Amino acid sequence: MVIKYDLNDKFLSSNVNELIEFYNEFSNRDDLISWMKGRPKSDGKIYVEENKIGNIVVIIPTKDVDSNYALQCRNVIYKGISQIFVESVKPRDTFFNYAHNVNKGIEYAMKMDPDWIILSNDDMVRVDPPEKLVSELSKFDPSRYDTLFTIPEGLYHSFHRMIATPNSLYSTVAKLHPNRLRKTRLELWKKFNLRYLDALDKGIVGIISKLLYSNKFRHILTGSFTILSRDFVNNISGKVFDDTFINGGEDSDLSLRLIFNGKYSKINYEITDLVGKSLGTGWERILRNVVNEVYLSYKIENGMIPFKYQI
């Protein structure tokens, strides 16, 4: 297949019609995934804030190392803890790949020989002080655990989701829903043979989801704030994320591997999320994320992600 790089503008478009034109260029799932794999990845610029508190490194991908979000991380949320910022290409990174930039930050962090690596979005809000994060982490042996989730859960980290299959009731609801983009997304799922996706499993939406999906497997999503041990990162040769994913789905992939291994615990540390301040939260992003939903399903179906139904 000839890789269609020129489609990147349509893929990034804020115009829903152009996004649909993007998907119309692909006749099947294999073609779409081939485009994802062939899409160029730009390298972010590394900035290091090396400190002495705890044997911890926080990796923060950001659009701008001098933005208010990045400065909050540096001077408030993680003050005194070593931080690595991976800044996107300026003025606009048309080939931004979150997973690729984080992997690059992890590669640099491992040279600092930390016990724990934390992956953090830049749009976070401090609740507990950095000293508490350091103190709580000191209670855990990084050779015994792959990851630590937070107590309490955040808006977009350490919370439950479920891998599941949209059922016939889902199809009926999507077809009748007044938001016709729901029907469009369903049509794309069917076109690209999606079988599994990562659905919300909390609150009212989670209750409704239990009716609309079958083949359910509950898991905890790492999301916007992820704590990984040195040994886990070493065991997978530092490539934490699959960078075929394009700014979505890579955390579901990672979370499923972490849950399957079973080497996880929970840490008493609270931090909150602003959610979507960098990449957005509207239907343009939802439709753009179909590529990641399709690829995640492909990996599960082909045994590339450990998975089993949960009764």
Domain containing residue 146: CATH number: 3.90.550.10
> Would you say residue 96 has pLDDT above 50?
yes
Average pLDDT over residues 274-283: 69
Q: What is the DSSP letter of 155?
A: S
pLDDT of residue 285: 93
pLDDT of residue 279: 58
Report how many domains make up the chain: 2
- Same domain? For 60 and 127 the reply is yes
- Same domain? For 139 and 79 the reply is yes
- Same domain? For 120 and 217 the reply is no
pLDDT of residue 3: 47
- Same domain? For 29 and 108 the reply is no
Average pLDDT over residues 224-253: 96
CB 157 within 8 A of CB 222: yes
- Same domain? For 134 and 260 the reply is yes
- Same domain? For 4 and 128 the reply is no
Chain-centre distance for alpha carbon 46: 20
Q: Give the domain range for residue 85.
A: 45-157+224-242+250-275
pLDDT of residue 2: 45
Average pLDDT over residues 286-305: 96
- Same domain? For 191 and 267 the reply is no
Sorting pLDDT into bands at 50, 70 and 90, what band is 188? very high
pLDDT in tens, 113-169: 999 999 999 999 999 999 999 999 999 999 999 999 999 999 999 999 999 999 999
Looking at every residue in the chain, the average pLDDT score rounds to 93
Q: How far is CA 277 from CA 101, 166, 198, 238, in A?
A: 18, 28, 21, 28
Q: What is the pTM of this model?
A: 0.94
DSSP 115-137: SEEEEE-SSEEESS-HHHHHHHH
> Would you say residue 309 has pLDDT above 80?
no
- Same domain? For 216 and 270 the reply is no
CB 250 within 8 A of CB 198: no
pLDDT of residue 6: 83
CB 114 within 8 A of CB 81: no
- Same domain? For 76 and 215 the reply is no
- Same domain? For 186 and 208 the reply is yes
- Same domain? For 51 and 115 the reply is yes
- Same domain? For 121 and 101 the reply is yes
